[in-house]
């Protein structure tokens, strides 16, 4: 089929490359000519394992190219996927729909024949219905232009796998024609047994925000338990393992620590909250305020632990920060818990040295006052305190004996619950783990 993908961020670039790789003819559109140039040259402008290979294969097949022209896109494709961003508005926490509205406004005047427009962006419930009416009103083809919604559940770092083998496909449609076209787009994925949920427009929009709100709630639940564990001398790691054996609860997304960040969970939570209030159902989502507050406290608890571990003051101390990305295998620092903690320690007068395997450049643009180094050794050498804030595998594999030779003082905070505490303590380290408290060096 001939598809277009409008917006080439994580979602759009991955969708375009994967759809072409599955055999469709695809044109990708972005208003940023630099992104279009990069993608046409096989360069992915962000860190996503496996995506460059898929992109290059798709370009070589001749089935994929990128443009900045809405006229080209409308001329080429029969199905248009809308993959633009819906960031948080600065003031209210509501989603900023400027990119969605702009893309529809620019595409519609070019739609002169029967077409299906499929939204994939995460939007407040009710948006799809409004856009459907706007499309019919402003496209020359009028009622022959249909809108469907097809929310996306891909995770950064696993974007390709989540696109070609998702847990499920969800489509919100208003006609059999739209359903059949989407079944055809995803024929090979459906043939592999991926479940398909067909529903209406508002349910499909809500599925996405509900899924992210649930995941955020699960993480904040275990982090609330971490606070109780710290207050009582209990161990949140063991607690998570024990309750996770109950299949109704499950162990995944019960990793206590510094909490969630990134370009999705935090802003989707706030946008969901804001939308519920707008439609008069605010009290149904009151609890999401607590989910957000627990998550923010993970950051302040980490800063407080750093100050306590250093005897009440970090001013003038060298603090090695391992990790700046919001999670491993990503260079994304949007609402990154790690970078927030680093910035707070800088404000407290610490001399902060950051190493992230992929996110140093993006982090430096947001927190330029920190020092950035290219390897772990340079970060930890001479440190008065080490903070493990993003669980890149090279940090999880740190050797307490070797690292101990490099630092000035053997103090470490494991904010992701990934280090073997006893081993670190037995090598003379004071180790504080979120939700498990502080373990002093073990002698003899």
Return residues touching ligand UGA (CB under 6 A).
122, 152-156, 212, 215, 219, 253-255, 257, 259-262, 264-265, 268, 326-327
Task: Specify the residue, 204 or 255, whose C-beta has the smaller distance to ligand UGA.
Answer: 255
Let me know if 18 is a catalytic residue: no
Task: Specify the residue, 66 or 326, whose C-beta has the smaller distance to ligand UGA.
Answer: 326
Give the end-to-end CA distance of the chain in Å, rounded to a whole number: 69
Angstrom distance (rounded) from CA 373 to CA 375: 6
Smallest gap from residue 23 Cβ to ligand UGA (A): 24
Task: Specify the residue, 21 or 152, whose C-beta has the smaller distance to ligand UGA.
Answer: 152
Collect all residues with Cβ–Cβ distance below 8 Å to 240 and sequence separation of at least 6.
Answer: 222, 225, 251, 254, 255, 256
Smallest gap from residue 219 Cβ to ligand UGA (A): 4
Smallest gap from residue 9 Cβ to ligand UGA (A): 10
Task: Specify the residue, 219 or 322, whose C-beta has the smaller distance to ligand UGA.
Answer: 219
Q: Which of 18, 83, 229, 264 is catalytic?
A: 264
- Whole-number Cα distances in Å, 355 to 54, 315, 334, 381, 406: 29, 20, 17, 12, 15
DSSP assignments along 98-154, one per residue: HHHHHHHHHHGGG--S-EEEEE-S---TTHHHHHHHHHHHHSTTGGGEEEEE----P
Q: Which tokens belong to 204? A: 């499909």
Smallest gap from residue 429 Cβ to ligand UGA (A): 23
Smallest gap from residue 330 Cβ to ligand UGA (A): 7
Task: Specify the residue, 57 or 153, whose C-beta has the smaller distance to ligand UGA.
Answer: 153
Q: CB under 8 Å, gap of 24 or more: what pairs does 375-381 form?
A: 376/322, 377/406, 378/353, 379/320, 379/321, 379/322, 379/353, 379/354, 379/355, 380/320, 380/322, 380/406, 380/407, 381/406, 381/407
Task: Specify the residue, 149 or 260, whose C-beta has the smaller distance to ligand UGA.
Answer: 260
Angstrom distance (rounded) from CA 335 to CA 344: 14
Smallest gap from residue 85 Cβ to ligand UGA (A): 10
Q: Which tokens belong to 24? A: 């469709």
**Are β-strands 318-322 and 385-388 bridged in parallel, bridged antiparallel, or unpaired?**
parallel
**Annotated active-site positions, please?**
264
């Amino acid at each position: 089929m001939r598809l277009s993908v409008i917006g080439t961020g994580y979602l759009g670039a991955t969708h375009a490359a994967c759809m072409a790789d599955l055999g469709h003819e695809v044109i990708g559109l972005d208003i940023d000519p630099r992104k279009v140039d990069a993608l046409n040259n096989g360069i992915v402008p962000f860190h996503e394992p496996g995506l460059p290979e898929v992109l290059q294969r798709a370009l070589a097949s001749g089935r994929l190219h990128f443009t900045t022209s809405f006229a080209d896109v409308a001329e080429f494709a029969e199905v248009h996927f809308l993959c633009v961003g819906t960031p948080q508005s600065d003031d209210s926490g509501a989603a900023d729909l400027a990119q969605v509205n702009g893309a529809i406004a620019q595409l519609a005047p070019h739609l002169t024949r029967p077409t299906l427009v499929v939204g994939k962006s995460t939007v407040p419930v009710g948006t799809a219905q409004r856009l459907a009416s706007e499309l019919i009103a402003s496209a020359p083809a009028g009622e022959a232009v249909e809108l469907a919604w097809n929310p996306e559940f891909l995770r950064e770092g696993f974007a390709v796998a989540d696109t070609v083998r998702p847990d499920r496909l969800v489509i919100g449609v208003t006609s059999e024609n739209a359903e059949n076209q989407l079944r055809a787009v995803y024929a090979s994925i459906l043939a592999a047994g991926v479940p398909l949920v067909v529903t209406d427009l508002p349910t499909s929009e809500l599925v996405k925000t509900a899924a992210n709100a649930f995941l955020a709630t699960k993480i904040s639940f275990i982090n609330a338990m971490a606070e109780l564990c710290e207050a009582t001398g209990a161990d949140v790691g063991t607690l998570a393992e024990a309750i996770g054996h109950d299949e109704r609860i499950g162990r995944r997304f019960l990793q206590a620590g510094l909490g969630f960040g990134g370009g999705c969970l935090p802003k989707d939570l706030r946008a969901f909250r804001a939308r519920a209030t707008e439609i008069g159902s605010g009290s149904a989502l009151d609890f999401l305020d607590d989910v957000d507050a627990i998550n923010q406290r993970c950051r302040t608890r980490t800063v407080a632990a750093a100050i306590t571990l250093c005897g009440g003051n970090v001013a003038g101390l060298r603090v090695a920060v391992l990790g700046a990305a919001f999670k491993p295998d990503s260079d994304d620092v949007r609402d990154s818990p790690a970078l927030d903690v680093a910035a707070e320690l800088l404000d407290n007068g610490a001399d902060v040295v950051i190493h992230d395997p992929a996110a140093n450049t993006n982090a430096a643009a947001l927190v330029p006052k920190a020092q950035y180094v290219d390897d772990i050794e340079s970060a930890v050498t001479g440190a008065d305190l080490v903070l493990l804030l993003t669980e890149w595998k090279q940090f999880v594999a740190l050797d307490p004996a070797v690292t101990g030779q490099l630092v000035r003082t053997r103090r470490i905070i494991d904010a992701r619950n990934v280090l073997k505490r006893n081993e670190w303590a037995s090598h003379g380290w004071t180790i504080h783990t979120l939700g498990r408290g502080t373990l002093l060096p073990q002698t003899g």
